[in-house]
Amino acid sequence: MTVRPLLLLDVDGPLNPFRSRLAGMRGYTSPRMRPAVWMSYRSPDSRSARRGLRVRLHPAHGPRLLALPFELAWATTWMHEANTMIAPHIGLPGDLPVIEWPELFARDPSGLSWKTRTLLDWAAGRPFAWVDDMINTRDRAWVHAHHPAPALLLRIHPRHGLRARDFTTLNSWAQSL
């Protein structure tokens, strides 16, 4: 049996187009949540902590992601909370693997995204696609030079989130392996 490639999912940007002003008009819902990382930057008595973070999620994304020929995993600061807070709103199972970051937002000496090195270690030589809003050209070059298997780094604009063309790109790339 062939092992499917990994699809490493960020939440904020790809699934939560937090910079979009028109997400509601495009079918997104806007539940309010209190993820631990977000709460750690707020006073518990503050108005924003009481209201929670507005998260824009599209209920069609889960089924579309599940239809892709990938093994899904979370690559987000939400870590395990992605399974309990995000997955139910978009129709993903609540037990997806999670990349646990040794340090959030750590500055990389080579200018890579703070996720890149840990993500490559976690992928352990397997082919993967990574969708994130913070991927840069250094990440692409570094992954190309240091990862033995095919990798697709797909930067998603946080104003748009995942779009039909991104699902097409992911499917085509996985099918080409």
pLDDT per position as a tens digit, 92-134: 999 999 999 999 899 998 999 999 999 999 999 999 999 999 9
pLDDT per position as a tens digit, 24-60: 788 999 999 999 888 888 998 899 888 989 999 999 9
Burial class (CB in 10 A: 0-12, 13-18, 19+), 73: buried
In a domain, 80, yes or no: yes
Q: pLDDT band at 1, cuts 50/70/90?
A: very low
In a domain, 134, yes or no: yes
Which are the contacts of 172, defined by CB distance < 8 A and separation ≥ 6? Answer: none
pLDDT per position as a tens digit, 50-82: 898 999 999 999 999 999 999 999 999 999 999
Overall number of domains in the chain: 1
The residues with which 153 forms a beta bridge, in sequence order, are 130
What CA–CA distance (Å, rounded) separates 146 from 52?
39
Task: Kindly state the average pLDDT of the residues 10-22.
Answer: 93
Q: What's the pLDDT score for residue 2?
A: 63
Q: Which domain holds residue 118?
A: 6-20+57-176
What CA–CA distance (Å, rounded) separates 92 from 97?
12
- End-to-end Cα, the chain, rounded Å: 14
For 1, 33, 52, 101, the CA distances from 85, given in Å and listed in that order, are 33, 7, 12, 18
CATH number of 98's domain? 3.40.50
In a domain, 156, yes or no: yes
| Local structure of residue 23 (DSSP, 8 states) | G
Q: pLDDT band at 16, cuts 50/70/90?
A: very high
In a domain, 40, yes or no: no
In a domain, 127, yes or no: yes
Burial class (CB in 10 A: 0-12, 13-18, 19+), 128: buried
* pTM (two decimals): 0.94
Q: Which helix (H) or strand (E) holds 164?
A: helix 164-176
What CA–CA distance (Å, rounded) separates 97 from 22?
31
